[in-house]
Amino acid sequence: MNITAPTANNIKDNWVSFIHELQDRICAGLEQIDGKASFHEDKWERAEGGGGRTRVITGGNVFEKGGVNTSIVFGPVTDLMRTQLKINGDNWFACGLSLVLHPNNPFVPTVHCNYRMFELYNANYEVTDRWFGGGTDLTPYYLFEEDAVHFHGAYKQVCDQFDASLFPKFKQECDEYFVNKHRNNERRGIGGIFYDYQRPSGSQDVDYWMNFGKACGNAFLPAYLPIVEKRKDMPFTPENKYWQEIRRGRYTEFNLVHDRGTIFGLKTNGRIESILISLPPTVRFDYNYQPVPGSPEDKLQQVCLQPKDWV
């Protein structure tokens, strides 16, 4: 099997360097706010080409389970990738950061983000296509509207620095992507931003989309940590925890049934432990569970059924 690495280029190297630095910075910020647990790093290699750094935090004061992963993977485009992922070319390369954090306290939201770059090459390893993608989305179990406003506002501020049209566009894409279509189009959370297949074109060149991805990645800690700080010490009941696990079930359903990143990892022989690190540690799948109408639990579910514009 051909596992030759793609030829180095300044664009790729710039992005790889940023992704690793962002991983270090995010892990440090999360360890500081947790105050107890630290990340365990697991370096791995992929037989078909590349590898990554999986960092896991468990049993903390704040985080029950979380992962902040980086990967640099590459290889030949397979027939399966051509047919199921609609990828054409001879060889491919992908580099990105992906994180999911599942907190102990049901009043602290789960959060996910992913920022990545993908390149395609011909038989001579010349770049034939390149695109950027990513996003950050929030999955609360109880709705605090000021938290939703803060989170969305942080990413609106980033988007507006590049183009005022980006936030409403990417916010809508997020609302339309993280959906359990099999559950009456119920969203898994309250969204954020999501974008994919952003190719350099005209004034939106490679630097534009790379800098946009960097700005979004840099916004993660100031968007999320103030919410964690505000909610992490709130008292909660077994009933609150029960509801958290019901909603975690919805999270699991989306990741296993619909998420393109999970599917891509499975179809490209990705590292299974790194792919499934996004799944919560405990979940519930109660038959036909419905929250009490008008309850705080129902309030959260209603905004998952009908997304709101928070800013």
Active-site amino acid positions: 112
Question: In 10 A of CB 288, how many CB atoms?
Answer: 4
How far, in Å, CA of 55 to CA of 137, rounded?
A: 20
Residues 6+ apart with CB under 8 A from 113: 97, 98, 99, 134, 135, 136, 137, 216, 217, 220
Amino acid at 146: E
How far, in Å, CA of 85 to CA of 78, rounded?
A: 10
As given in the structure block, the two tokens for residue 266 are 């499975």
Q: Are 15 and 95 in contact (CB under 8 A)?
A: yes
Cα 74 versus chain centre, distance: 20
Q: Are 73 and 268 in contact (CB under 8 A)?
A: yes
3-state secondary structure 240-281: HHHHHHHHHHHHHHHHHHCCHHHHHHHHCCCCHHHHHHHCCC
